Structure 1
Amino acid sequence: MPRPTLEFWYEFASTYSYLSAMRIDDAAGRAGVAVVWRPFLLGPILGAQGLSDSPFNLYPVKGRYMWRDMEREAAALRLPFCRPKPFPQNSLLAARVALVGLDRGWTPDFSRAVFAAEFGKGRSIGDPATLAEILASLGENPDAVLAEAGTEANKARLRRAGEEALSRGVFGAPTFFAEDGEMFWGNDRLEQALAWAVERARCSQWPV
């Protein structure tokens, strides 16, 4: 039976996307599911909802809970965690760079490194120097990749990703889609999403 796939839609400025990014490949490997990494920008989607900032900033009580929850969850996963300043970070360039790597296979490694720099070390992911350092560590040419990330074609690709996310009902990050289109939102739904993907793939093999 072919391996089922799960789309992983994530935003680099998203706290809970950090948790999912750092554990999804191991979890999916155990489940026998292939992961399709889908970087996108959440800001325009929040804007379409009438929000001018992260809900965690707009609603301080919610924000305080989220930061404490992140401390607990990161500790449980044995991940370093610190609050980046400012929050949310400017994730535009990181998302553009991640798109460049999709066809070359280094997007997952790049994405994990960006999340680790941001939420593990508190570094600015909006700084091209941070991203250049990460690209160099992956054996890529930072100048060439950053130049490609800034092309009109790549910018349009990121806009299309955002439009697709909006059309499919994405309202937050991380979001997961099984092959049948079933949507799951939040790091705490990752295992459920993987189980769904496996079960639907199994059902599709049954004779009619």
Structure 2
Amino acid sequence: MIEFFFDCSSPWTYLAFHNIQRLAKECGEPLSWRPVLAGGIFNAVNPSVYASRESPIVPKAQYMLKDLADWARSAGLAIKMPPTVFPVNSVKAMRGCIWLGGGMVPFATAVFEAYWGEDKDISQDAVLTNICKKVDVDPEEFFRGISEEAVKNQLRANTDEVIARGGFGSPTMFVDKTDMYFGNDRLPLVRELLERRMAQSRSACNSAP
């Protein structure tokens, strides 16, 4: 089982969200989607993110943009960094993922694409309404659902949980509950782990009497 803690406001999460689906399918590994608020994580355990935005190290920031573009090209995704509105308040979108539950993937995909690919402000109700219509979700039910206390509480609980388990940003991934990986660039390590485990399983089957 791969747990994927994510916030649609992160560019690296946009890439990882796309890439991990293919990885999990190829390795036959189930995915558990865990929406969180990256801002809540940063406030609690990683405030240096804000400082780096206010006073970026120019060569590092320039390289980050190149690195992001390279990874996006590798994934076959369009990305604009930074978007016109950055950072963005993603709380309504992430509550929407919670409310949709097992059906969240098409919605989350559309949110990622709207923000990172089309430069749309996903904090705006009009943008979220159009996304809902795109993925056949009733907008009125959506906005009613994301106002429910149970939905708000679950998003907070997911955020608190990933912090308690050692996470410090998005995307944070766990394999089998305890093996943590952070960031799109760690996916090759996740793949190696799963492929190694698959090989060990095959070897055990072949050696069985």
TM-score (normalised: structure 2): 0.87
Structure 1 unaligned residues grouped into runs of 5+: none
Higher helix share: 2
Deviation at 1:154, TM superposition (A): 0.9
What SS is found at the alignment partner of 1:33?
coil
Q: Number of aligned residue pairs: give it.
A: 201
Task: Please show how residues 46-195 of structure 1 align to structure 2 within 5 Å.
Answer: 46-49=42-45, 51=47, 54=50, 56-61=52-57, 62-83=60-81, 84-102=83-101, 105-195=102-192
Separation of aligned partners in 2, 1:188 and 1:95: 23
The Cα RMSD (Å) is: 2.2
Aligned partner of residue 72 in structure 1, secondary structure: helix
Please give the per-residue CA displacement for 1:50-89, whole angstroms capped at 9, x wherever unaligned: 6275465134124333222111211222211112122111
Q: Structure 1, residues 103-122: CA drift from partner, whole Å, max 9, x if none?
A: xx321111111111111011
CA distance in 2, matches of 1:191, 1:13: 23
Do the aligned partners of residues 160 and 202 (structure 1) sit closer, same or farther apart at CA in structure 2, a change above 3 Å counting?
A: farther
Q: Secondary structure at the match of 2:181?
A: strand
Give the Cα–Cα distance (whole angstroms) in 1 for the partners of residues 55 and 91 of structure 2.
24
Counterpart of 1:81, as a letter, is I
Q: Percent identity?
A: 31
Structure 2 CA distance for aligned equivalents of residues 34 and 180 of structure 1: 13
What do the CA deviations read for 1:115-161 (whole angstroms, capped 9, x no partner)? 11111011001011111211112111111012111111111111111
Instruction: Letter of the 1:8 partner, please give it.
Output: F
For residue 7 of structure 1, what is the aligned residue in structure 2?
Answer: 3
Q: Secondary structure at the match of 1:144?
A: helix
Residue identity matched to 1:156: N
**Counterpart AA for 2:75:** L
Partners in 1 of 2:5 and 2:97 — Cα distance? 12
Relative to 1, partners in 2 of residues 1:30 and 1:59: Cα closer, same or farther, differing over 3 Å? farther
Distance, in Å, in 2 between the alignment partners of 1:53 and 1:87 is 13
Report the structure number with the largest CA radius of gyration.
Answer: 2
